Structure 1
Amino acid sequence: MKKNRQTQLIHAPRKAPQSIHTVQPAVYRASTIIFNNTNALFNRHWSDDYDYSYGTHGTPTTFNLADQIAQLEGGEYCLLAPSGLSAINLVNSCFLSHGDEVWVADNIYGPNMEHLRNLQTRYGICVKVYNPLDVHSFQPSEKAKLLWLEAAGSVTLEFPDLVALVKKAQAQNILTALDNTWGAGLAFNAFDFSDAHLSVDLTVHALTKYPSGGGDILMGSVVTRDKALHHQLFRMHALQGISVSGDDVAQVQRSLASMQLRYEAQSHSALKLLDWLKQQAKFSQVLHPADPDNISHSYWQAVCQEQHSAGLVSVIFDAKYSLQDIRQFCDALQLFKLGFSWGGPVSLVMLYELQHMRSLEHTHLQSGILVRFCIGLEDSQDLIQDIQQALSVLD
């Protein structure tokens, strides 16, 4: 059929062969996906492992990354979301209804707590808080539906009694969801983390951090081994119109090959800083689960493989230093940049007032302003010297 030039610009008369093998997989950018015929259109179902029907449901690019993240985490099924928080919200909105009880650790990621409090106010979800180091503080009622876990916890980095908490939740048929961003699928296998082969039901991972590795991509994931749970999540995923960019997926995909190398390098640097930070008189406490003096060290040691411990270290300054003093310290840092997140090449620092972040009393934490160091890929000795020169403003 002879075509007008305008039509030819849309329907090219020639098309290069589509099948070649390259180091990186091809990037598919799609909203509309073309069906070969009506049989292909109608002989498909949303529950198929690879349902190519619309861009929000998935493309070879997104499915490829999802499969790799599922394998990394030790699961079977994975859904991608535009951010780690979006992945968290997907879990909450999928499994919580009016009157349900959800339990969260007192050191939970702040935006997750804020989202749950919003659900409590608007939809009657009951939010309960427990001490992640004390399994007895987790006292679920018959309405308990979901237990959130973090290993390690946000900011103060306590590693929970994961074994005891999961056992207790399983005994009462409570769904367990682990924010696994710190462990990144490398520190331990969340779907097989004890001699008894204990497993959480779901993991959420902010791919923004270690999988991305560049500090420039936002993405999250939800992984499970349970097909029924995956289908529940997939339906909510579709109803909410959650999708990710093929170009962003390709960026994360490209970074996966170096992820373990970067994780181990940043973990190693963090341990070097830990030893030095513990010797500094201006800090009343240094927080890191690999520290033998840390209150949660035994829980970390029991679960984490090869003693992996990520690239985060927090310190609490002596109480004599004011918030203004700590702001001056942070402003004096040169290599550490003030910013949220972690896992990228640039080291980051952030300061926190714990009294505004916790609802339970934590006697193991000293009073004072907390500063969290997120270690990048700079030389560890250079980072130590940077902290040392910044501490001099407090003299």
Structure 2
Amino acid sequence: MKTPSDRTRLIAGATQRGRGRRPVNPPVERASTMLSDRADQMRDESLGPVYGLAGTTAARELRTALAGLEGAAESWIVPSGLAAVTVPLLAVARPGDEIIASDAVYGPSRRFLSRWMTARGVSVRFHAAEASAEEVAGLIGETTRAVLIESPASLTMDMLDAPALAAAARAKGVISIMDNTWGAGLAFKPLRHGVDISVQAVTKYAAGHSDLLMGAIATNDAALGRAIDGTIEDVGWHVSPDDAWLALRGLRTLPLRMTEQARSALEITTWLGQQPEVARVLYPPLPSDPGHALWARDYSGAASLFGLEMKGGTTEAGRAFLDALSLFGLGYSWGGYESLATHETHQMAYRQSPARLAGELLRFHVGLEDPADLIADLDIGLAAWRKALKA
């Protein structure tokens, strides 16, 4: 029998037979205390969770579905995408160890590394965002414990050769952790490409409706799994049953939403690339993007998040562009059904090696609106940009 696609498996997990009469979606069970019939059963985990922290039905089904999507032996859910990044780092790094990460890594991840980890004796080295796998591998030393991979990188969408970097890390006994939020476990599968631990913000595409915060962690390594599980247990993090239920519902339609949004994003980024005010569209699916070859080789799809590098400009012009938009919401995060826009030039100040940009940096997420309407909205924004520069 043909192996089902992700699109089929995410739904088949709800309809599989042999489980008796039940609702399509699991019940929402709000519980801290779990009761047993007898005293000798109170710690018997084979009968189900012994306390609410272990997660009730919706959380367990969500973890199973995410593990299947990632091709993982096991997955875990935590209260935010940032927690999905920090838990593996806490699980594996000890004082005296070193973590290597991209200079373009997600801002809160960078803050955690630079503030929390360094204060507790873990050193951090940031490599150039455009570095090759060989260059990053050359930085691995005797104290390096883990390499944090983020590809495409936050804001500037720099691509890393994740399979080559994971292989180089493994050859030197170093753990590879990949923030795969852009790939969402669907467009790219880190574990199948040799990465040890895959993490993503379920907040984004998996949940898909901008109404919850959650992260996911997945691995096939039993020892790493025990360390991750123990860390989550020790810090006491828990995902509410309501959020788990919402995320599971969103996950069922992930392939359809992500595919449609990527199709719209490609149409819109192609149009933007032809506008005279635009220096460069930062989006790996575009043939003009420096990371396109890696994306075409390793990815089966794309997110609809991209950066827009303008030709010169000012902060005021960037804000005028965004203020003129009526269909793009002004807000952080992405992956939901709605289109969003943010102004990001100020974020470049945190990098050790500033990105070489021709002007202001804007970021856009394309939702499920009609792409023709979004293009018309962006055209109005560009007119506001031009007007602000003439003022």
The TM-score normalised by the length of structure 1 is 0.88
Read off the aligned partner of 1:183 and give its amino acid letter. G
Q: Is the 8 A contact 2:58 2:248 kept in 1?
A: no
State the match for 1:147 in structure 2: 147
State the match for 1:126 in structure 2: 123
> 1:273 deviation in Å?
0.7
State the match for 1:280 in structure 2: 275
When the two chains are superposed, the root-mean-square deviation of aligned CA atoms in Å is 1.7
1:383 is aligned to 2:370: no
TM-superposition CA deviations, 1:354-384 (whole Å, max 9, x none): 531321254xx43311101101110001000
State the match for 1:14 in structure 2: none
State the match for 1:248 in structure 2: 243
Matches of 1:175 and 1:51, distance apart in 2:
32
Matches within 5 A, 1:196-215: 199-215=194-210
Q: Is the 8 A contact 1:97 1:125 kept in 2?
A: yes
Moved over 6 A (4+): none
State the match for 2:36 in structure 1: 35
TM-superposition CA deviations, 1:144-163 (whole Å, max 9, x none): 01111112111111221112
State the match for 1:219 in structure 2: 214
State the match for 1:8 in structure 2: none
| Match among 302, 327, 352 for residue 309 of structure 1 | 302
Q: Is the 8 A contact 1:269 1:375 kept in 2?
A: yes
State the match for 1:171 in structure 2: 171
Higher helix share: 2
State the match for 1:297 in structure 2: 292
Question: Structure 1 residues 359 and 137, CA, compared in 2 at 3 Å: closer, same or farther?
Answer: farther
1:66 is aligned to 2:57: no
TM-superposition CA deviations, 1:38-86 (whole Å, max 9, x none): 2222455xxx7x8611111222221110010111111111111111112
TM-superposition CA deviations, 1:150-182 (whole Å, max 9, x none): 121111112211122111101111111111111
Q: Which runs of 5+ in 2 are unaligned?
A: 1-18, 387-391
State the match for 1:346 in structure 2: 338
State the match for 1:7 in structure 2: none
TM-superposition CA deviations, 1:206-226 (whole Å, max 9, x none): 000111111111111111111
Matches of 2:348 and 2:116, distance apart in 1:
23
> 1:129 deviation in Å?
0.8
State the match for 1:25 in structure 2: 26
Question: Structure 1 residues 70 and 332, CA, compared in 2 at 3 Å: closer, same or farther?
Answer: same
Matches of 1:270 and 1:357, distance apart in 2:
28
SS of 1:94's equivalent in the other structure is helix
TM-superposition CA deviations, 1:244-288 (whole Å, max 9, x none): 110111111111221110000110000001110110111111111
Q: Is the 8 A contact 2:177 2:198 kept in 1?
A: yes
Q: Is the 8 A contact 1:51 1:58 kept in 2?
A: no
Q: Is the 8 A contact 1:285 1:366 kept in 2?
A: no
Greater mean deviation of Cα atoms: 353-362 or 119-128 = 353-362
Q: Is the 8 A contact 2:268 2:375 kept in 1?
A: yes
SS of 1:65's equivalent in the other structure is helix
Q: Which has the larger radius of gyration?
A: 1
Question: Structure 1 residues 21 and 120, CA, compared in 2 at 3 Å: closer, same or farther?
Answer: closer
1:270 is aligned to 2:265: yes
> 1:341 deviation in Å?
0.8
Q: Which runs of 5+ in 1 are unaligned?
A: 1-17, 194-198
Report sequence identity in percent. Answer: 33
